[in-house]
Amino acid sequence: MEINRPGASALTPEQQSALERARAEIHGRALQGGLTSDDVQRIVAAMKAHPEVSHEVIQLLMEEVATLQGAGPGIRLLNLDD
């Protein structure tokens, strides 16, 4: 993922690895019916704990929404039925 933020420092290898794990988890949860409220709370807590990558997490979520829009009906990012 290429994120261009002037003045921002580059992600460390650990941050990049964590971001890729988050991407895989979010994508998997979306394919299993969507993120639950607990999933969203964990994402928000992680962003608060690591504000240096919060922009990247938001970008990741936006990319996942765009991917899911082309995946067909019935697939959604959020599961608001829990």
| Statement: the pTM of the whole predicted model exceeds 0.85 | no
Any residues with CB less than 8 A from the CB of 23 and at least 6 apart, and which?
1, 60, 64
- What's the confidence (pLDDT) of residue 18? 87
Whether 7 is in a domain gets the answer no
Q: Which domain holds residue 39?
A: 13-69
Whether 49 is in a domain gets the answer yes
Whether 29 is in a domain gets the answer yes
Contacts of residues 41-44 at CB distance under 8 Å and 24 or more positions apart, as own/partner, are: none
Whether 4 is in a domain gets the answer no
User: What percentage of the chain carries pLDDT values higher than 90?
Assistant: 10
Whether 6 is in a domain gets the answer no
Count of domains forming the chain: 1
DSSP per-residue letters across 51-69: GGGHHHHHHHHHHHHHHHH
User: pLDDT tens-digit profile of 33-62?
Assistant: 888 889 889 989 988 988 888 899 899 888
Whether 79 is in a domain gets the answer no
Whether 61 is in a domain gets the answer yes
